[in-house]
A = this chain, B = another copy of it.
Amino acid sequence: MPTSLDTYFDQFRREFALPDGVIYLDGNSLGALPRLSSVRVADAVRREWGNDLIRSWNSADWINAPERVGNKIAKLIGANDGEVVACDSTSINLFKALLSALALIPHDSPRNVIVSDIDNFPTDLYIAQGLRELLRDRKLELRFVKRTEIPANISAQTAIVMLTEVDYRTGERYDMKAITALAHDNGALIIWDLAHSAGAFPVALNACDADFAVGCGYKYLNGGPGAPAFIFGATRHLDALDAMNAPAPISGWFAHAAPFAFDPVFRVVRGAKRFLVGTPPILQLASLEASLDLWLNVDLQRIREQSLALTDLFIAEVETHCGDALTLATPREHKLRGSQVSFRHVEGYAIMQNLIARGVIGDFRAPDILRFGFTPLYVTREDVVNAAKHLADILATREWDQPKYQQKHAVT
């Protein structure tokens, strides 16, 4: 029996071009294709590029796409106009966010520790490791610890706390407000990675007093493969960076106050555009923007309600039909849950190949995690029930002894 939420989301599911015979539970890795994105990308290619050519920098307002798209993302993550730009990759944006946070900390400050979760998505940890090497004179110390040890490791030595709100393997969610307050109480800045948050549930960056944030355009935001990422700076910090005339983190011409004056001397632009570097990827921005235009019609509270309903249902169905063959890795408590459900099984890899061969697309994360993302815009209760049935079938017959699909890589 469909709930009123199911009915509400029917209108959105129709807006996605999903293949027949597929139950897609991997929107946390690569969001599905909004029908409008096909249309908009084709228009950007044929009309804007092919026909209008160079004139589209003005006539199609290509020039302002990073800010325009950023402002649309801002509405989904509790940020203000002018605090977010869409550009580059999440990794590069984290590099810029770290440099921007460091610019706010005096060079001779005794605060030199960057605290993060050892189970954070690795690229976040890698970027910090690279920066430590690059900025030798800052003598940065990295303290990567288990989730439970994060609070005890935030201290007067902490320069920056850097966390991904939702764990990419387990789907466990941090309390953004509490951890941000703890960082601030200790005089530290915090950078949130919203890779598995933006579009997964309402994010409230400013209500939580977050300092900087980055996130991904191609997961829940459905921006397409390799979509531009985003970066957020709280207005108070953007103003402070402006006031101290801090250089742009990577000082390309799109971060210049007057890029078309072609002045040989770099002079940083005010506001979030300081995060820009080079010429924006117009076709990918067109794709992302089409999806955001759909997103702006979505009630984010209902996304959260339906996400919890779907993840609860999946846990219940799997536990009912699969017995204790699988171990739940995702918290049962709602406030600790993102929009995915993960189960552990020693044969997880092979089981997932068989699920994919049956058209139930989730993914596998070493060593033993079966990961399922629930995206209310295009995943229904029926999908959830059927996915659990397929999983139970595979487990009952040990179908994984004959794996049917070879997944070599999977990009989160």
Question: Which A residues have a C-beta under 8 Å from some C-beta of B?
Answer: 17-19, 22, 24, 26, 29-30, 32-33, 37-38, 41-42, 44-46, 48-58, 62-63, 88-92, 95, 99, 118-123, 125-127, 129-130, 133-137, 144, 218, 224-229, 247-256, 259-266, 277-285, 287, 356, 361, 363, 365-366, 406-411
Contact = CB atoms under 8 A, between A and B. Distances in A.
Contacts of A58: 406-409
Contact of A41 (B22, B247, B283): B283
A146 to B, nearest CB: 11
Contacts of A32: 50, 53
B278 A92 contact: yes
Nearest to A365: B262
B226 A282 contact: yes
21 contacts: A41-B45, A48-B225, A53-B361, A55-B356, A56-B225, A57-B408, A57-B409, A58-B406, A90-B278, A92-B277, A92-B278, A122-B253, A125-B265, A130-B250, A144-B264, A218-B279, A224-B283, A226-B280, A226-B284, A261-B366, A281-B281
Contacts of A119: 264
Q: Which 4 A-B pairs have the closest CB atoms?
A: A89-B278, A130-B251, A91-B252, A33-B50
Contact of A250 (B90, B95, B224, B285): B95
A46 B29 contact: no
B92 A279 contact: no
A49 B62 contact: no
Contacts of A30: 49, 53-54
Given A53-B32, A129-B266, A45 B277 contact: no
Interface core residue of A123, A229, A247 (most chain B CB under 10 Å): A123
B130 A22 contact: no
Nearest to A16: B50
A227 B280 CA distance: 8
A54 B361 contact: yes
A54 B26 contact: yes
A283 B89 contact: no
A58 B30 CA distance: 13
Given A51-B19, A279-B218, A410 B57 contact: yes
A288 to B, nearest CB: 10
A88 B92 contact: yes
B50 A260 contact: no
Contacts of A137: 136-137
